């Protein structure tokens, strides 16, 4: 059986992450504050990696934060 946390990759669409793991909203709210861009408005349908490139946030940190939340819950 595949570990659920490995299912979240740079290719995973942000909407899919949030809909599967509501607790990750906190990560995207933080990214919104850091970038000044509304991730929900402007990147909801983008893969995480593409959103990181477009809005300039640290992809590795975002993935670490998301995986940390998923493992905790």
d(CA 2, CA 44): 25
Instruction: Domain ranges for the chain, please list them.
Output: 4-72
Q: Report the topology of domain 4-72.
A: SP0561-like (1.10.3910)
Closest Cα partner for 8 from 57, 69, 54, 58?
Answer: 69
**pLDDT score at 71:** 80
For 47-64, b where at least 16 C-beta lie within 10 A, e where not — what string?
A: bbebbbeebebeeeebbe
Instruction: Determine the length of the chain.
Output: 73
Residues 3-22 pLDDT 10s = 444 589 999 999 999 999 99
Give residue 69's pLDDT band: very low, low, confident or very high (50, 70, 90): very high
């Amino acid at each position: 059986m595949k570990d659920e946390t490995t299912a979240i990759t740079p290719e995973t669409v942000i909407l899919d992450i949030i809909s599967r793991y509501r607790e990750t909203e906190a990560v995207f709210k933080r990214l919104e504050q850091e970038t000044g861009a509304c991730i929900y408005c402007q990147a909801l349908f983008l893969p995480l990696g593409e959103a990181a490139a477009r809005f300039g946030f640290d992809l590795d940190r975002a993935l670490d934060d998301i995986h940390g939340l998923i493992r905790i819950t």
